[in-house]
Amino acid sequence: MPAGRFKHVRKRAASLAAFISPAVWGRSLAASAVAGGLLLAGVAVPAEAASYYSAPLRTAARSLAVAAENNAGYDRNRYFGYWNDTNRDCQNTRAEVLLQETKSAVTYTTARRCTLRTGRWVSIWDNRVHSSASAVEIDHTVPVHEAWGSGARYWSQARRVAFYNDLGDSRSLNALTAALNSAKQARGPESWMPPANRCAYIGQWIAVKIRWGLRVDSVEKAALVRYADSCPNVRVSVTRV
């Protein structure tokens, strides 16, 4: 596939000092993104519902609202659904993220180009390089189970589906080594941290929590504050939805 075919090639930051800014990640998150509404995975969110947040990492960590986590009634498929194909080009959210993150031309499994076979993906949390699409999984930075217990259980179904398929902020979804994704499961930074780029991980976790208005429990917040205090105090900039 020629380089011009890449639809939203995502540029990873060259240094941890720049990892938080949405502009660095290659997607615009301006609060005025769309007049009259911000489109998230096919769900129109009123523009007035969106607001822009920007603060130093340590301030952002301390600003997170604390509440006990409540995971009662969690059902991933029932309440969050599956990968969507929002623009109906036959490529679902998984395929879109793979296209955004590939560092080389890709091949497809069929002539219709719906699913990817090969490319070049660098799993950000362990720096492993993969050429087979089947070797990587799409990880929710804030796991769906964690989101449910942190406030998503009270959302509308449309908002939960939008969270599951969030292509509006590159920090929400990442192509990750399958084994690493399995090791992470639904755990937060208080009980699991990646082997590489930990400050970037903390920044992404905080950004997603702020973006979606998700709360943190007291143990989680203590861990986030502790890690943030040991990281470069870069800015967290994110559009709330």
Q: What is the DSSP letter of 216?
A: B
Predicted pLDDT of residue 35? 31
**How close are the terminal C-alpha atoms of the chain, in Å?**
34
- Phi then psi for 90, rounded to 5 degrees? 80, -5
Do residues 120 and 129 make contact, with C-beta atoms less than 8 angstroms apart? yes
Q: What is the pLDDT of residue 2?
A: 43
Q: Please report the pLDDT score of residue 93 as a whole number.
A: 98
Looking at residue 182, what is its pLDDT? 95
**Per-residue model confidence as pLDDT tens digits over 168-185:** 999 999 999 999 999 999
Of 2 and 68, more confident = 68
Q: Average of pLDDT values for 114-135? A: 97
Residue pair 15/221 in contact (Cβ under 8 Å)? The answer is no
Q: Are 22 and 12 in contact (CB under 8 A)?
A: no
Q: Look up tokens 């603060």; give the residue.
A: 55
What pTM, to 2 d.p., does this model score?
Answer: 0.81
Lowest mean pLDDT among 30-44, 74-88, 117-131, 194-208: 30-44
Per-residue pLDDT tens digits for 192-240: 999 999 999 999 999 999 999 999 999 999 999 999 999 999 999 999 9
Tokens encoding 137: 């999984």
Identity of the residue numbered 206: I
Band (pLDDT 50/70/90 cuts) for residue 8 is: very low
* Residue 103 identity: K
Per the DSSP assignment, residues forming a β-bridge with 38 are 45
Asked if residue 95 lies in contact with residue 89, where contact means CB atoms within 8 angstroms, the answer is no
Mean pLDDT of the chain: 85
